[in-house]
Structure 1
């Protein structure tokens, strides 16, 4: 949620063919870290009341089981945990664990969206997607769950309603701060359909008095076009666009 303060460098693709997910315990937060975390969180909520301290998953580590088999350890926490990224002395903070969707137009261009002012990273361009939430009840966190979550993020942020089974696992990305993102590709759609569904979603959100998570979309076919998008972009976006363009 609080991505603009991420520590680290550039993003990369990990070239994963098989992904295994393992739950683990979140690290213990010291009393000093908790006090600092709560102060930072209270300041953030005061500046942006849209922030909420709901349940979320974080990445507790990764391990290669084989050259293209990756195990991701995940832990349960709440969005407040991400405020630790702004605490200089914190050693207990963990990066995000998220899904994102590559949504092509039928001419091969890729949809990217700009985060609205109500989000934690206003003005940032990225793929549709978001942090993973804990599975409900006894449901496992597996690839089927990730497919469902990615489909839900896609329709919530763009209005594009795609069945989870129609999403194809594409790869795994690691952001500069260590956050892990599982990438899916959606079936291509005409540009007119993409824009109509996004416009209808944004209008419906504003009619309910809410600001949509994405306030604009752009269709891109190569990394040089990133310079045409005014504002920052997620550090993992460039390697994704490059690989997508090469494959296309």
Structure 2
């Protein structure tokens, strides 16, 4: 029997988000979740239990609109994935950005040692946070979040309106990422902006979230990266290479 692909590419023309109540956890599930989370924090004290928008469902509407149901949670809830028999898994909802250079290559970054995924290569992006009072979680909010991630991780000043919805990805664990495409930028300028960001972070006593960036010209170059990469990276890089050829 053929094994299903690790990541599914969801070619959505629009994304709509619906807030749902959080799942009810049994006392045993909550206790196990807290235990796994505390073990993770002991292993990596930089982990924090901040707010998180977790995925609770996915559906399609007519016209290829992707409907994502989400709930308010915290990073602690991700520990449920490591609890055997847990009825609530709460996959991640995240954004990512394909930042091409003017020569057609694609920027990827390696997560710093202090992050939750040290040494892992990925596109700029991050987990979605719940909106504040009076704010909506919609496609415009996802664009703004993606633009902030570009600024914080690679020093880009791309405006949210310049980001184009490209597709969404869904991994075997159910996590969904909404992928935006940024306008092409000269390769030298991408490296210059990242270097300026890293220097500014270090001057303030911090290490940048990406400890290194590189530009990929084909999916075959993924094997040369010094470290693992996120599950969506290979199919996304391949898709972008094929559709831009």
Same fold (TM over 0.5): yes
1:22–1:73 contact (8 Å) kept in structure 2: yes
| Structure 1 partner of 2:196 | 200
Contact 1:176–1:236, Cα closer than 8 Å, also in 2: no
In 2: Cα distance, 1:35 partner to 1:205 partner: 38
* Equivalent residue number for residue 161 of structure 1: 157
Aligned residues: 241
Structure 2 residue 46 is the aligned partner of structure 1 residue 50: yes
Gaps of 5+ in 1: 1-7
Cα distance in 2 for partners of 1:218, 1:192 equals: 11
Q: Is the 8 A contact 1:9 1:177 kept in 2?
A: no
Hey, what does 1:149 align to over in structure 2?
Answer: 145
Which shifted more, 202-211 or 190-199? Answer: 202-211
- Deviation readout 1:156-182 (Å, 9 max, x if unpaired): 111111111111111111122111111
What corresponds to 2:32 in structure 1? 36
1:137-194 CA-partner distances (Å, limit 9, x unpaired): 1111111111100000111111111111111111111122111111111111111111
TM-score (normalizing by structure 2) = 0.95
Q: CA RMSD in A?
A: 1.4
Q: Distance in 1 between matches of 2:197 and 2:167?
A: 28
Distance in 1 separating the partners of 2:65 and 2:139? 14
Gapped regions of structure 2 (runs ≥ 5)? none
C-alpha deviation, 1:207, in angstroms: 2.2
Give the stretch that moved more between structures: 51-60 or 205-214: 205-214
